[in-house]
Amino acid sequence: MRIGITCYPTYGGSGIVATELGLELAHRGHEVHFISYAYPIRLDTDTPGIYYHEVEVSSYPLFQYPPYVMALASRMADVAERHNLDLLHMHYAIPHATAALLAKQMTTSRFLPYITTLHGTDVTIVGADPSYYRATKFSIEQSDGITAVSEYIRAQTVDFFQVHRPIQVIHNFINASLYRPDENGRSRGRKRILHISNFRPVKRVLDCIYVFAKVRKEVDAELIMAGDGPDRGPAERLAQQLGIDAHIRFLGKQDHMERLIPHTDALHLPSEIEAFGLAALEAMACGVPPVATRSGGVPDLITHGVDGFMEEVGNHHAQARRLLQLLTDETLHSQMAAAARHSAVTRFSTELVIPQYEAYYRQIREAGGTKGT
């Protein structure tokens, strides 16, 4: 099958999932064409079957805001016709689903269905903005297929946008051969806590600092902050104010999390909301137990007390207590690490999830076979 994928190419869960999906599909013999304004961060175009098409947006003095949707739609239609694409797969509703709808209408040589995958903030934050609500709702409803990365996002879409179309829940996935434990890499001395995010307010990065200050009173540990974003500066200043900045490393954006995660002891994910919790899944696959908040789609992923812990949003004391348990009880850590790895492999591996996308693609193509040429 020939598939066009559009995603945000920057550091964020939706772009990472889209890129990894494309690579996995290519490994299975599909032809995958990425269409975006920049090169996706994890994309390897040396992979057979992977192609990249850049969207160029012209800047005219007349345009205060460059019309990216029009440029994207035109590029999609052009790629679809030149490469005989079977379908388009949009990751993140705004503006990708809107552009795909235009591209579908512009493509007259063949039937070009499009699928929209909802990742979280495209529904809960961006789509909820009154400026985008109607366009988001319309673009989702006009999609030939709709998927969501968690039951939570499916329910939110139905409730908020009153979408009465079927929405298929296909969870995020992990390459368990790439993300795996490395017992030799774990420190035998100072314990390491890891946080991974794009440092937006919804990730509650400052909570990591407050909780770590509590942990430091009991255990000689260091906090590793991977990622970047608007709350990095405030987090660095808070660490200085609390006198723990010497024990925190801000690494910035990282391309190879599979190399970093196995060298840590626990993941801290204190988000206000998580559509699914991809960082937690990556950690679990590496045998690193997560301490996360009981929010959004996280309960789809973590079984509390078995393969990780979930506590309430903003409860610094409870989150610190769970991290201390993992850092001080080697038996508990070993049991939970094994359970986390087992859960990742048996529930969310690429071998289980990618075939769900392939089956859904076939379903959408067959359902639309009479709609166009």
Can you give the pLDDT at residue 4?
Answer: 97
Phi, psi of 64 (to 5 degrees): -70, -35
Report in angstroms the alpha-carbon separations of 40 from 102, 115, 156, 278: 23, 19, 28, 17
Residue type present at position 272: E
Whether cis (ω within 30° of 0) applies to the bond prior to 95 is yes
Q: What is the pLDDT along the chain (373 residues), one digit of tens a residue?
A: 999 999 888 766 788 899 999 999 999 999 999 999 888 877 877 889 999 999 988 777 777 777 888 999 999 999 999 999 999 999 988 889 999 999 999 998 888 999 999 987 777 666 567 888 888 888 899 999 999 999 999 998 998 888 888 999 999 999 999 999 987 766 667 899 999 999 999 999 999 999 999 999 999 999 999 999 999 999 999 999 999 999 999 999 887 889 999 999 999 999 999 989 999 999 999 999 999 999 999 999 999 999 999 999 999 999 999 999 999 999 999 999 999 999 999 999 999 999 999 999 999 998 874 343 3
Structure tokens that stand for 107 in this block = 């493509």
H or E stretch covering 11: none
Residue type present at position 64: Q
Sign of CA dihedral 208, 211, 217, 221: negative
* Cβ atoms of 313 and 272 closer than 8 Å: yes
Structure tokens that stand for 346 in this block = 């048996």
According to CATH, the topology of domain 183-348 is Rossmann fold (3.40.50)
Structure tokens that stand for 41 in this block = 């961060």
Q: How many residues does the chain have?
A: 373
Can you give the pLDDT at residue 136?
Answer: 85
143-202 pLDDT per residue, tens: 999 999 999 999 989 988 888 889 999 999 999 999 999 877 666 678 999 999 999 999
CA nearest 283: which of 179, 190, 183? 179
Q: Do domains 2-173+350-367 and 183-348 have the same CATH topology?
A: yes
Q: How far is CA 107 from the centre of its chain?
A: 30
Q: Is 89 left (phi over 0), alpha (psi -120 to 50) or beta?
A: beta
Any idea where the domains of the chain sit in the sequence? 2-173+350-367, 183-348
Alpha-carbon gap, residue 71 to 74, rounded angstroms: 5
CATH of 2-173+350-367, one of 3.90.76.10, 3.10.20.340, 2.60.40.420, 3.40.50.2000: 3.40.50.2000
